[in-house]
Structure formats: C-alpha cells, structure tokens
C-alpha cells in the first residue's frame, strides 16, 4: 500500500459520505430521527456512529489514543446541516493528517491497549483501510434507510467514484470532480 492509494480511498470515502449526506438533506426531520431496526438505530444515529468511528480511528492513528472512541453524542447533531458541518471538519482533519504521511509511515505500527487490557498492534495502513471499510458498512445501512424514505443516494460503488474522479497523477489530496 502507498500513500497515493490511501489518498484515493479517502477521497472515495469523502465522496460516498457526501452522497449520503446529500440524500439525507431530502428526508424529513422525523425520518432523520426515527428509530429503525438497523444496527445503530435511526438514520442520524447511524451516521453519527460512522463519523465518530472515523474520528476515533484518526485519533488512534495520529495520536495513539483510544480516548476518542464513542465520544460523539447523537443529541449534539439535531439536524443534517449540523452533522454535515462537523463531518466536513473531520474530513479536513483527516486530510491534514494524511498529508503528513509517507509510504514508509503506512507500514509502521499503531500500538494500543483496549479498555479491557488487551494489547494490540496493527499496521497503520490496515487501520486506515478498516476505517473506510467500517464506513462502507454503515453507509450501506443508511442507503437502505434513505431508499425506504424515497430518497435513495444512488450508487455508492468505488467504480462510480472513479468515473467522476480526475485521473491526473497527484501525490496528496486529489480532489474528485463535482
């Protein structure tokens, strides 16, 4: 894995998050907050969990701390607009972090101890890819909810992202086409 690959995956992640948030802007406030049978509960709760996980994994990778896990409270995000604004801040924080990394850094280790006392060691790029993969699971759940509400986000496949992506070579922070 190299930094260019990681940046492309994070560009995809940001693109897919924006697709979901744009579809969320079309649901009613009631639909945004209503409980569902999906793993995290409501559409809002699912997305707050996803954002919280992205932030927490960045904090672990960047600062070697587990303190950020499960920090975000759903009540702090009463609307799609508030959630979108906070997600944009997290996306920028992640881009700033990734911009500092080299190919060699990606093969380094993230070491931590779980609250249960288990010592863990993970390759950095594995953690970064895990965060994206985790987001894919919960975006899929959100997409089902949105589709049930008549507001499908459309396709979220990586290849659809690539179709809209500027394919010129870049070394950091490539921007998807809008």
Q: Is there a domain that residue 177 lies in?
A: no
Q: Is there a domain that residue 171 lies in?
A: no
The pLDDT of residue 164 is 86
In this structure, what CATH number is given to the domain that contains residue 77?
1.20.120.450
| C-alpha dihedral (44, 49, 55, 57), degrees to nearest 10 | -160
Q: Is there a domain that residue 140 lies in?
A: yes
Q: Is there a domain that residue 172 lies in?
A: no
The pLDDT of residue 166 is 64
Q: Is there a domain that residue 30 lies in?
A: yes
pLDDT tens string 21-53: 999 999 999 999 999 887 788 999 999 999 999
The pLDDT of residue 115 is 86
Q: Which domain holds residue 73?
A: 3-164
Per DSSP, helices labelled H in the chain are 3-24, 29-33, 43-63, 80-99, 103-106, 124-148, 158-164
Distance in angstroms between the alpha carbons of the first and the last residue of the chain: 27
Q: Does pTM surpass 0.85? A: yes
Task: Supply the mean pLDDT for the chain.
Answer: 91
Q: Is there a domain that residue 46 lies in?
A: yes
- Weakest-pLDDT range from 6-20, 56-70, 156-170: 156-170
* Average confidence (pLDDT) over 135-139: 97
Q: Is there a domain that residue 62 lies in?
A: yes
pLDDT tens string 78-132: 999 999 999 999 999 999 999 999 999 999 999 999 889 999 999 999 999 999 9
The pLDDT of residue 39 is 77
* Average confidence (pLDDT) over 139-145: 97
Q: Is there a domain that residue 120 lies in?
A: yes
Angle at 159 between CA 127 and CA 132, to 5 degrees: 15
Angle at 61 between CA 24 and CA 21, to 5 degrees: 5
Residues near 146 by beta carbon (within 8 Å), at least 6 away in sequence? 20, 23, 24, 27, 43, 152, 153
Q: Nearest CA to 165 among 157, 90, 66?
A: 157
Backbone angles phi, psi at 25, to 5 degrees: -65, -15
Q: Does residue 162 have a pLDDT over 60?
A: yes
The pLDDT of residue 66 is 84
- What is the tally of structural domains in the chain? 1
Q: Nearest CA to 176 among 21, 12, 5?
A: 12
């Amino acid at each position: 894995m190299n930094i260019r690959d990681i940046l492309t995956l994070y560009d995809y992640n940001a693109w897919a998050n924006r697709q979901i948030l744009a579809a969320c802007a079309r649901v009613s406030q009631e639909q945004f907050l209503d409980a569902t049978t999906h793993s995290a509960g409501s559409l809002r709760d699912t997305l707050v969990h996803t954002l919280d996980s992205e932030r927490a994994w960045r904090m672990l990778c960047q600062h070697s701390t587990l303190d950020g896990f499960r920090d975000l409270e759903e009540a702090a995000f009463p609307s799609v607009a508030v959630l979108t604004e906070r997600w944009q801040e997290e996306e920028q924080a992640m881009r700033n972090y990734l911009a500092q990394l080299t190919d060699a850094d990606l093969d380094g280790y993230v070491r931590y101890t779980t609250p249960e006392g288990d010592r863990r060691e993970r390759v950095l790029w594995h953690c970064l890819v895990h965060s994206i993969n985790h987001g894919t699971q919960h975006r899929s759940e959100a997409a089902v909810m949105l589709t049930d509400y008549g507001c499908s986000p459309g396709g979220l496949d990586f290849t659809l992202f690539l179709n809209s992506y500027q394919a010129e070579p870049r070394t950091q922070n490539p921007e998807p086409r809008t």
